[in-house]
Amino acid sequence: MSVNRRLFITSAAGIGGIGLLGAQTAQAAPADLTPGREKAVLAVARAGAVFPIEFPSFGEPGPAVSRATPKRLRTAAEKLTPQRFATVVSGIDHVSARVDLSSDATLLPGLSRLYRDADLTQRSALVAAVALAAGTVSTHLDPSSDNAARLWLDGLARIQRW
């Protein structure tokens, strides 16, 4: 394993303390979370649950990938403010239009490329969508916080360049 990959894995292990819940309780409009959008966020959540290492349980039941469910996604989405939810929807739509979600083999390089090539607005929306995915997998992560999502996307972009 290369030094860079070890550094990323070590850093990724520390995300448990980043963006811990302190979320706003304003209700978003999860009705805008269409089946297609739900599918996209859950694909990202499942990928993030196992890449580059399996996400820790933090006392939650089952492996992280098993927690990427529609019910948990809706619960996390309901914690978002309407403005944040709109940003998330923009990010989800951007991912869905440009990334093949059918497998991790296409999803991960697609997300990496999208993140690297995005302008500031697109990047912010992508980060918000990934934050919702992270908040779906772990109730300890705030779906309104960009910290864990940025860490994961930065690491993904670095790993995909190797």
Confidence at residue 162, expressed as pLDDT on a 0 to 100 scale: 52
For residue 149, the model assigns a pLDDT of 96
Are the C-beta atoms of 5 and 161 separated by less than 8 Å?
Answer: no
Q: How far, in Å, CA of 44 to CA of 128, rounded?
A: 12
- Any idea which residue has 């300890």 for tokens? 140
**In the prediction, which pLDDT does 23 show?**
43
Q: Rounded to an integer, what distance in angstroms lies between the CA atom of residue 22 and that of residue 4?
A: 32
Read off the pLDDT of residues 69-96 as tens digits, 9 standing for 90 and up: 999 999 999 999 999 999 999 999 999 9
The pLDDT value recorded for residue 25 is 47
Residue 112: partners with Cβ closer than 8 Å, 6 or more residues away: 153, 156, 157, 159, 160, 161
pLDDT the model gives residue 52: 84
**Cα 114 to chain centroid, rounded:** 14
Of the two residues 92 and 2, the one the predictor is more confident about is 92
Q: What string of DSSP letters covers 109-138?
A: HHHHHHHHH--HHHHHHHHHHHHHHHHHH-
pLDDT tens digits, residue range 37-65?
999 999 999 999 998 888 887 888 889 89
Domain extent listing, the chain: 3-161
- The pLDDT of residue 7 is 40
Alpha-carbon distance 65 to 49, whole Å?
5
